Amino acid sequence: MSKVQHHPQDHQFYIEDHGEIIAEMTYSVSSETLYIIDHTYVDDKYRGQGLAEDLMSNVADYARRHQIKLFGLCPFAKRQLETKSEYADVKY
């Protein structure tokens, strides 16, 4: 299983296993300083392993480095941004 990777052209953070995407978080660019997380997916076989949390953490780290705020449209990202204090600095 690979570590989290980012494809800025596809607006996607993802994790692969043997060349297959097993988890992803996608976003829309609302502005240079606001990204909207619109989808989170983890393959059924890999659920419960913290992959969605790994994706969220990587998206937040990227946002911090680039002075971007995040808005959670998908239920997972919305819940993470609203309930986890470690994301307060990147929450829109």
- Token code pair at residue 21: 């995407």
The pLDDT assigned to 2 comes to: 81
The whole-model pTM stands at 0.95
The share of the chain scoring above pLDDT 90, in percent, equals 98
- pLDDT, one tens digit per residue, over 36-59 is 999 999 999 999 999 999 999 999
Q: What is the average pLDDT value for the chain, to the nearest integer?
A: 97
Q: Give the separation between CA 78 and CA 75, rounded to whole angstroms.
A: 5
The pLDDT assigned to 1 comes to: 78
Burial 37-57 (b: 16+ CB within 10 A, else e): beebbbeeeeeeeebbebbbb
CA 24 and chain centroid, separation: 7
Alpha helices in 1-92 (DSSP H): 51-65, 75-83
